[in-house]
Structure 1
Amino acid sequence: MEILIHKQLLNLNPQGKLIQPLIDFEYEVSFYYLNDQFQYALYAPDKNKRWELVEYRPSESDLGFAKKFIEWNNIERGITRVDACRLKNDKLVLVELEDLNPFLSIELLPEEKRDQFISNLVEALNSSSND
């Protein structure tokens, strides 16, 4: 991985490389949905420790941001994670929309919220077998 300024990038042959913008952000946050229903959110309050997640209480605006991508993705069933970064100006930007999601981090949730998610998942699985 290299961090380059614009002029350096223009002087290189970027063939075969992935180029991403370097964005200064406050923290990363993930919104977890089951089917199209919001379940919980986790975030990394320290951007240098991106895997040290804690529960995040999203605002209505945050949920509106995430819901746009859930609606755009338009899968009927499944777990979807909307990953975003909070910019210095308080805006959220999409990092990744993940609907093949092996990392739920439910062990980090309070017991009641974890149990509710598992119950919702079982209900969703049962309802899909009835279709």
Structure 2
Amino acid sequence: GGGGLSLKKNKKLYLVDPLFAEIPKVLQPGGPTPAMAAMVENIVGMALYRAAEQEIVESFSLPQSLFYWRSRQGNEVALVSGWGSRKIPVEVEYQQDVTGRDKLVVRNSFGEGLVLSSETLDLDDQVRVIPAPLFLWLLKTEA
């Protein structure tokens, strides 16, 4: 793909505590409820940050090994973690069925990586599909 990693251009905001996402609903009763997929992406982002950036978590420093990626065409991979040339893309598609199309951006841009789903487990591809709860559990046991 024609994109790249850049700390200056590619910034994304994740809430440290998912309960912060409920503030707009409290301030404006009947307001929008956060989408489950967005909340799961937020939780995965913070879990990866804590695992990949253990030394700087409490210093409020900029991440050194966790980014998001966007191609020139505007396609996005939610999270990219790693150092040097070894980067692992992690796309969050929090839905029951993950299709080849859901894996396409990861495959075309990185060749391999992970797509997190709500239930699907498929390890028979270079772009592996793993249920988000299982990924978070594995991340916690490895960190």
Give the TM-score taking structure 1 as reference length. 0.25
Q: Which has the higher strand share?
A: 1
Give the TM-score taking structure 2 as reference length. 0.23
Which of the two has higher C-alpha Rg? 1
Q: Which has the higher helix share?
A: 2
